[in-house]
Structure 1
Amino acid sequence: MMYPFMTLNDDTEITHSEMKADGSVKVYIETPDLKDGFHSAVCWLPQYRWENIHGYNQAEMAFFKKLIRDNAHVIIEFSQDGGVLNAANS
């Protein structure tokens, strides 16, 4: 299951999985694009391993890499609590 984490002003959605048995968390980034459909990328935490990057340029990826690194501790915490909405109700 993927949980919502953040929506940016350009409608980019950032979601994350629950924490897997090995301690990893999948972070998925998706931006709608009228011409190409969607741009997307996956980051696995805590390794910061990026894969399946489609449509984003280097500047956009630098932004996302910093954003995820700056928020990784929160994403990892939420991944153990059923996402931000469940964590907020705890």
Structure 2
Amino acid sequence: MMYPYMTLNDNTEITHSEMKPDGRVKVYIETPVYGGFHDATCWLPEYTWEFHGYSETEMSYFKQLIRDNAHLMMEFSQEGGSSYAR
């Protein structure tokens, strides 16, 4: 299951999964664009990334944003998401 975490001003959605049995959490970023979406996936706590359509500048921003919020997403992943996102 994916839980909403944050929506940015450009309608980019950031969601995270529950914590997997191996302790990993999937973070998914999706931005609507004409004809589809740009998307990125980050696995915490390793910070391994896959992305499609985003520029290096955009990815630099997202990587910092996830690093700054990873501790919260890891915590919320064990509690069924953030109470603020409900």
Structure 1 segments, 4+ long, off by >4 Å, are none
CA distance in 1, matches of 2:52, 2:32: 12
CA distance in 2, matches of 1:50, 1:12: 17
**Which 5+ residue runs of structure 1 have no aligned equivalent?**
none
Match of 2:82 in 1: 84
Query: Matched residues, percent identical?
Result: 70
Match of 2:3 in 1: 3
CA distance in 2, matches of 1:88, 1:33: 23
Deviations 1:25-72 (A, max 9, x none): 0000000001x4100000000000002x11100000000000000000
Number of residue pairs matched by the alignment = 86
Using structure 1 for the length normalisation, give the TM-score. Answer: 0.91
CA distance in 2, matches of 1:27, 1:16: 4
Q: CA deviation at 1:88?
A: 8.3
Using structure 2 for the length normalisation, give the TM-score. Answer: 0.95
Q: CA deviation at 1:19?
A: 0.1
CA distance in 2, matches of 1:49, 1:88: 25
State whether residues 4 and 85 of structure 2, in contact with CA within 8 Å, keep that contact through their aligned partners in structure 1: no
What root-mean-square deviation, in Å, do the aligned CA atoms of Structure 1 and Structure 2 show? Answer: 1.6
